[in-house]
Amino acid sequence: MSSPDISIDIRPEFNSFDLRNSRYLSTDRPWLKLYGIRLPPVSPFSSLSSRPDPALIHQCLPDELLIEIFARMSPYTLGRAASVCRKWKYTARNPTLWRNACLKTWQRSGMEANYKMVQSLYDSSWRKMWVQRPRIRIDGLYVSRNTYIHTGITEWQFKKTVNVVCYYRYLRFFPTGKFLYKISPQKVKDVVKCMHLRASKGDSVFKGDYTLSGDGQIEMALLYPGHRYTLVRMRLRVRGTTIGANNRLDVLKILTTGVNGTELGNWKGNILELVEGWEENETHDPDVPAVSHSRGLTPFVFVPFEEADTSVLNLPVEKMDYFVPG
């Protein structure tokens, strides 16, 4: 008998057989009910502008006013605002907002140089330039917490006294190429009040000059006034615990050297240009030798102004004898 003679149509039986209702064959699979259901893709924000926004703040706040508010935010506050909703996210990516932040931060490079750099290195994206290019943060203080063990004087005692000494190095930078420097045992919440350009002589806040290279290295120089002028030269490297954070400064070198008072009086430029080309062991005052310091080189940690009162660096030695900056 040939095969066409025994052909059987099994389509009706197969169509009546439903896997979703066959509990005796397998476990219940509710996701099978979603098969064949097509979901429309999420449209970009620009296509939603014609639809009414259910959020009350978006109904009362026009887009032009929202951009004006974002323009007055710091870049880090702008990044937090971009996490609120989709509309704020797309508004915060306005190139004008990040262009103003970049031109203010790297104003010493010049507007023309910044425009050429953003086109050649960062695909004409000011936001990408802000995230990837090394920079120094100016919205807070860089703090280096240093501790060491000091042996006390023992007289007629069987136990030897040991003291833990804690002191801080403070740095505040300005976009004009100036910085403030202070060494003090005072906590961050107390020092932040006097770290400004109008600080009095009693605050012991010293002003210097700095430059930032393209690879993230900072060259700094400041002058300690006194009976003999002492010049402090520092070399730091900026880095971040996350991409774009720039919240750490590694200390590469700290040098103190002497400078001639006559040479200093005739100099009209900044201090950093005066010591350009000097060797590390070079001094211009025989009474003040050149010294390369090997202690107190703990990395600097960035503390924003709004977190100065709540920072962990305010803890006393009894609660935190050593701090690991990370």
Is residue 8's pLDDT more than 60? no
In this predicted model, what pLDDT tens digit does every residue of 227-241 receive, in sequence order? 778 888 999 999 999
Contacting residues for 33 by C-beta, under 8 A, at least 6 apart: 20
pLDDT higher than threshold 90 for residue 47: no
Average confidence (pLDDT) over 123-152? 88
**Tokens 């930078």, residue?**
173
Give 2's pLDDT tier (boundaries 50, 70, 90): very low
Question: Residue 216: left if φ>0, alpha if ψ -120 to 50, beta else—which one?
Answer: left
Q: Please give the span between the terminal C-alpha atoms of the chain, in angstroms, as a whole number.
A: 85
- CA 130 vs CA 100, 255, 270, 315: distances in Å: 10, 32, 28, 33
Q: Which of 121, 134, 131 is nearest to 215 (CA)?
A: 134
DSSP codes, 86-117: HHHHHHHT-HHHHHHHHHHHTGGG-HHHHHHH
Q: Above 60 in pLDDT, residue 148? A: yes
Q: Kind and range of the H or E element at 262? A: helix 261-265
pLDDT reading at 176 higher than 80: yes
| pLDDT(300) > 90 | yes
Q: Is residue 268 packed enough to be buried (19+ CB in 10 Å), middle (13-18) or exposed (0-12)?
A: exposed
pLDDT bin (cut points 50, 70, 90) of residue 40 is low
Phi, psi (deg, nearest 5) at residue 77: -70, -35
Cβ 231 vs Cβ 209: under 8 Å: no
Average pLDDT over residues 189-204: 88
Q: What angle do CA 70, 81, 58 make, to 5 degrees?
A: 75
State pLDDT tens for residues 28-37.
777 777 777 7
Residue 71 has pLDDT above 70, yes or no: yes
147 has a pLDDT exceeding 80: yes
Which tens digits make up the pLDDT trace of 75-102? 888 888 888 888 888 888 888 889 988 8
CB atoms under 10 Å from CB of 183, counted, come to: 13
Q: What confidence score (pLDDT) does residue 170 get?
A: 94
Q: Tell me how far apart the alpha carbons of residues 42 and 72 are, in angstroms, rounded to a whole number.
A: 31
| Per-chain mean pLDDT for the chain | 81
Mean local confidence (pLDDT), 120-146: 90
Using the CB atoms, write b or e for 102-120: b if 16+ within 10 Å. bbebbeeeeeeebeebbee
Percent of the chain residues topping a pLDDT of 90: 19
Highest mean pLDDT: which range of 132-136, 148-152, 259-263, 319-323? 132-136
What is the dihedral sign for C-alpha 42, 43, 46, 47?
negative
The torsion angles phi and psi of 154, rounded to 5 degrees, stand at -110, 125
- DSSP-based three-state secondary structure for 59: helix
**Tell me, what's the pLDDT at 48?**
47
Beta strands 178-184 and 206-212, pairing class? antiparallel
pLDDT in tens, 250-281: 999 998 888 877 777 777 778 888 888 788 78
Question: Where in the chain does DSSP place strands (E)?
Answer: 140-151, 162-173, 178-184, 206-212, 217-224, 230-239, 248-258, 291-292, 300-304
The count of residues in the chain is 326
Question: 17: buried, middle or exposed (CB in 10 Å: 19+, 13-18, 0-12)?
Answer: exposed
3-class secondary-structure state, position 122: coil
Q: Tell me which of 221 and 269 has the higher pLDDT.
A: 221
- Top pLDDT among 191 and 21 is at 191
Distance CA 241, CA 247 (A): 7
- Return d(Cα 205, Cα 169) in angstroms, integer: 11
Cα separations in angstroms, 300 against 249, 252, 318 = 5, 11, 21
User: What pLDDT is stored for residue 51 in this prediction?
Assistant: 58
Amino acid letter, residue 157: Q
